[in-house]
Amino acid sequence: MNSQALTRRDWLRLSAAGMASAELAAPAWADQRPPRGTADACILLWLGGGSAQIDTFDPKARGDGKTKAGSYYDAIPTAISGANLCEHLPRVAGHLDKCVLVRSLHHKIIDEHGAATNLLHTGRPTSETIAYPSLGSTVAHERGPGGDGIPAYVVVGYPNISRGPGFLGSKFGYIYLTDTESGPTGLTPPSSVAPERRERREALLESLRSDFHSGHPGEAAVADYVAASREAARLSGPAFRRVFRLADESPARRAGYGGEFGQRCLLARRLVESGVRFVEVAHNLNFLNGTGWDTHNQGQLKQHELIRELDHALAALLEDLQRVGRLDSTLVVVATEFGRPAEFDSGGGRGHQSTAFSAVLAGGGLKTGKIIGATDALAKTIVDRPVSVPDFHATIYAALGINPAKELRSADGRPVPITDHGRPIAELFG
C-alpha cells in the first residue's frame, strides 16, 4: 500500500506546476473590468411562490380568467413614459423612475419551487460536489457587516437551505426572524425573563464560565468559546436589539408601510441603517389570498390584495429610503423563483413559467428609469435582451461594488467564481 501511495504522491509532485497555474490564472475577462457600483447594502424582497409577471410588472392585453389568455388586470401608465404596470401597483408606478424593470429573466430549472428558489438565491443548480452560497452570504463574505456588533446578513422570514452560506461556512450565514414581533432567533433574550433576573443569571453564568476558563489554561478551543460568548452578549445586547424596536418609529410612518409585510420592510430599512449589508424580506403571508404568489386555482381570485400589499410596502420603502438619504446607497431588489403563464388553469389560476419572468431593481446608485428586456404578447417568450440568473446576480453584485467574476475558494481550495459567468447589465452603470 505504501509504495502505491508514494506513486500517487510522486504523481502529485510532478503535477504541482500545473496545479499552481490553475490557481493563479485570473479570468481573462476580469481585465475588462466589470462595472462597479457604489451601493453598500441590499434589501431583497422575495416573492416566494413565483409571482405572475403578466399580472404585475409585465402587463399585457387582458384575458378573461378562463379560456382567453392574458393579464388578469388592467394596466396603468408609470413614471417611465411608455411603460405600464398592473393597475394594482399605482404607488410603485409613480416611483418607477427610481427603478429598473427586468422583464427578461429566465432559466431552465424544473418548474418546482425548491429547485428554482435555490437557483435564484445561489445562481447555480444544486451539486453533489459543493454547496453554493446564497446572494446574502456572498455579500456578507465580500462586504462584511457595516458596524460593530452587527450581523452582515438578516432574513425576515423562514430559514431555508437556499438562503444559507454553503461552502462559505456558518460565519456567513444569516440571522433570522419569522415576524417583526419576535426579534431575531438566537439573539433575542426571552421576554419572560425580566431584566434584573437576566442580569442576575448572567452573573451566575459568568462565574461558572470564568471558573472553567481559568481551570483550562492555554486551551485555544475553550478560550475561543469564551470569546464567542462575549461577542454573543454584544450581539444580543441592547444596541442591536434597539434596531428591532419598530415602536420607535412614528405611528404615521409605521402606518405608511402597511401590514406585517410593510413592517418587515420598515425593519429592513432600520437594519440597513444599523450596518446590515443584506436583508432578505419574505413576502408570502399566504392568508391574504390562500396561496401567496403561487397562484394556482382560486389563489388567483384575491391575488390583487397581495399585489396591493407589495405596492404599498415597496413604495413606502423607496420613499422612506429617499427621505433618510439612503436610496442611492441601498439596492432594493424584488425577485421571485419564476413567473406564471398567460393561460389560466382549470381553477382560474396560473401554473409555473420559467421561460420569462420579471424582477425589479431600485435605487442602489443604478441608472434607473429603464426597462430591460421585453417579452411577446403573452409574456411567455423573450423577444429582447434576455437576462440570465447569473447576469441578474452579477448586476446585484456589481451594484454593491463586488466583482462578480471574483473567484472564491471552497474549503478544499477549489476556485469558484462568485457568479457562473454572469455579466452585469452594463447600461445600468457608469
Q: Determine, following the binding rule CB under 8 A, whether residue 284 of this chain makes contact with another protein.
A: yes
Q: Which of 34, 35, 123, 157 binds another protein (CB under 8 A)?
A: 157
Q: How far is CA 127 from CA 131, 167, 202, 237, 264, in A?
A: 7, 12, 44, 39, 32
Report the SS3 class of residue 47: coil
The least distance separating another protein from the CB of residue 179, rounded to whole angstroms, comes to 8
Burial of 120 (0-12, 13-18, 19+ CB in 10 A): buried
Residue 5 or 252 with smaller CB distance to another protein = 5
- Residues in 360-379 that interact with another protein by CB under 8 A: none
* Cα-Cα-Cα-Cα dihedral sign, residues 98, 158, 180, 188: negative
Report the C-alpha gap between 165 and 155 in whole angstroms. 12
CA dihedral 125, 126, 130, 132 (to 10 degrees): 60
Residue 81 or 129 with smaller CB distance to another protein = 129
Q: Determine, following the binding rule CB under 8 A, whether residue 255 of this chain makes contact with another protein.
A: no
Long-range contacts from 60-69, C-beta under 8 angstroms, 24+ separation: 60/342, 60/377, 60/378, 60/379, 61/377, 63/342, 63/343, 63/344, 65/300, 65/344, 65/348, 66/344, 66/348, 67/344, 69/341, 69/342, 69/343, 69/344, 69/378
The least distance separating another protein from the CB of residue 300, rounded to whole angstroms, comes to 12
Q: Determine, following the binding rule CB under 8 A, whether residue 180 of this chain makes contact with another protein.
A: no
Q: Determine, following the binding rule CB under 8 A, whether residue 300 of this chain makes contact with another protein.
A: no
Q: Which of 76, 161, 301, 374 binds another protein (CB under 8 A)?
A: 161
The least distance separating another protein from the CB of residue 32, rounded to whole angstroms, comes to 7
Report the C-alpha gap between 108 and 263 in whole angstroms. 34
Q: Which of 33, 238, 325, 412 binds another protein (CB under 8 A)?
A: 412
Closest Cα to residue 330, out of 341, 345, 344, 320? 320
From residue 30 to residue 59, what is the string marking binding to another protein with x (rule CB under 8 A)? x-x-------------x-xx----------
Residue 67 or 128 with smaller CB distance to another protein = 128
Closest Cα to residue 211, out of 226, 198, 201, 200? 226
Residue 212 or 409 with smaller CB distance to another protein = 212
Q: Which of 26, 255, 377, 383 binds another protein (CB under 8 A)?
A: 26
Using the contact rule CB under 8 A, the part of the chain among 87-95, 139-147, 326-334, 411-419 near another protein is 411-419
Contact 99, 360 (CB under 8 A): yes
Using the contact rule CB under 8 A, the part of the chain among 57-65, 97-105, 156-164, 247-255 near another protein is 156-164
Q: Which of 65, 169, 214, 367 binds another protein (CB under 8 A)?
A: 169
Residue 219 or 384 with smaller CB distance to another protein = 219
- Residues in 122-141 that interact with another protein by CB under 8 A: 125-131
From residue 85 to residue 114, what is the string marking binding to another protein with x (rule CB under 8 A)? -------------------------x-xxx
Say which residues have a Cβ less than 8 Å from residue 355's Cβ, sequence separation at least 6.
106, 380, 381, 382
Q: Determine, following the binding rule CB under 8 A, whether residue 214 of this chain makes contact with another protein.
A: no
The least distance separating another protein from the CB of residue 47, rounded to whole angstroms, comes to 9
Say which residues have a Cβ less than 8 Å from residue 349's Cβ, sequence separation at least 6.
291, 295, 296, 297, 298, 299, 300
Residue carrying the nine cell digits 425593519? 267
Q: Determine, following the binding rule CB under 8 A, whether residue 22 of this chain makes contact with another protein.
A: yes
From residue 181 to residue 210, what is the string marking binding to another protein with x (rule CB under 8 A)? -x--xxxxxx-xx---x--xx--xx-xxx-
